[in-house]
Structure 1
């Protein structure tokens, strides 16, 4: 904890706080600390129990994802209210857990939109890698009905899922593009040069172009 406190940079904290993250530790430096510590699950649990975001991020890098029970992961997600902790927990820990599918289904039905967004993050992974058994037209129905007015974090994941369906499943591509064009979610999102817009029709077209070389 003392080492992480020494890495704190007030300017970086100011930048991070604009995005909802309450820490000022450079992520490269934070990853270096975790790399030196290697896997230490008991220490990870103790760091997670602190009220310090940088410590929680280190915990997520040094834990054993498969050691957490379903209930523990559910409780951790509900306690992960800063975007970076939320993202790392889902992507670095839950995705490696044997409970990921059960949690995906439970979180998709949760009334809390932040928790629900995690269910959609896991669904995006299924759409891209293992869509067998998924009701893709049904997912498009939900996206079409709810994305326009969804809270920011949930809206972002719904939009990502829309784009991923269009990218990964050619038979549903036209419908995905149509939904994106009609809802216009993130159409005017500021996108740096040489980056792909998150507006789903543009995103789908660009990735498919790269994949096909067209």
Structure 2
């Protein structure tokens, strides 16, 4: 049974779970000053207890608090949003993480998703453009883009990605990868386009993450589906293992006997 809580009770619950070090990281990443520093696991647990609650979700969003808005994305009812309401939620955003949460958790499932997708993809604002491409990717994955002209979309991806702002590039590339993964008939073409576009993201790959280079990303997910690892993943894990320092031996602890017998 869903837990009944008021807005003030939920905000107090979030504040209690705030961590100053996590807050520092969120602020550094662009979450603004209205943030407690609550880890995602705690937010998900609270969302599970509350269940879907559209009215409370809207109240949480209106606070402007970072964690409250993440939680809001887990409570909102996609079917209850009009196109105007959805635009009001997303278009003022300045943080790509919140854009992705709102799109992936709510708007992809909304009846107005296709209309929003077209408006945002054809617009000139950076984060709404990102949202439009992410919406299309999500609808492809969910089998909701049945009337999509995939060939024309692939042409558009190759044309628009090189000159797009970085955060839009990420959305376009995400869509390319999702076409390659969820539309097998276009996989080779998606990989070929990825190869022609090249490694457009010069940033180092964070430890434990997959390359944003579309051919490698597609290969990594396909390998994971088979329970395998790509060569790139094996090399990355080997390099990480080499960097790990050997565990320190406690003072006074006896040395372990060698497995190899000493020859005289």
* Smaller-chain TM-score bracket: 0.7 to 0.9
Q: Which residue in 2 is equivalent to 1:11?
A: 21
Take 2:74 and 2:201, find their aligned partners in 1: how far apart are those partners? 34
Deviations 1:30-64 (A, max 9, x none): 22222333333222222211121122222222222
* Structure 1 residues 60 and 209: CA distance shift in structure 2, 3 A: closer
Take 2:13 and 2:204, find their aligned partners in 1: how far apart are those partners? 36
Secondary structure at 1:79 match in 2: coil
**Contact 1:20–1:83 (CA under 8 A) maintained in structure 2:** no
Q: Aligned runs of 1:24-103 on 2, under 5 Å?
A: 24-103=37-116
**5+ unaligned residues in a row in structure 2: which ranges?**
1-10, 229-264
Take 1:17 and 1:150, find their aligned partners in 2: how far apart are those partners? 26
Cα deviation for residue 107 of structure 1 reads 1.6
**Contact 1:180–1:200 (CA under 8 A) maintained in structure 2:** yes
- Of 110-119 and 39-48, deviating more is 39-48
Candidates 136, 155, 166, aligned match of 1:152: 166
* Structure 1 residues 205 and 5: CA distance shift in structure 2, 3 A: closer
TM-score with structure 2 setting the length: 0.71
**5+ unaligned residues in a row in structure 1: which ranges?**
none
**Contact 2:126–2:168 (CA under 8 A) maintained in structure 1:** yes
Q: Aligned runs of 1:55-204 on 2, under 5 Å?
A: 55-130=68-143, 131-186=145-200, 188-192=202-206, 195-204=209-218
Cα deviation for residue 140 of structure 1 reads 1.4
Deviations 1:76-131 (A, max 9, x none): 01133223322221111112211111211222112212101111111112333424
Higher relative contact order (CA 8 A, sep 6+): 1
Take 2:47 and 2:182, find their aligned partners in 1: how far apart are those partners? 34
**Contact 1:189–1:198 (CA under 8 A) maintained in structure 2:** no
TM-score with structure 1 setting the length: 0.86
Deviations 1:185-212 (A, max 9, x none): 3465433566432211112233344557
* Structure 1 residues 193 and 3: CA distance shift in structure 2, 3 A: closer
Take 1:58 and 1:174, find their aligned partners in 2: how far apart are those partners? 38
* Structure 1 residues 188 and 84: CA distance shift in structure 2, 3 A: closer
**Contact 2:108–2:139 (CA under 8 A) maintained in structure 1:** no
Cα deviation for residue 149 of structure 1 reads 2.5
**Contact 2:99–2:127 (CA under 8 A) maintained in structure 1:** no
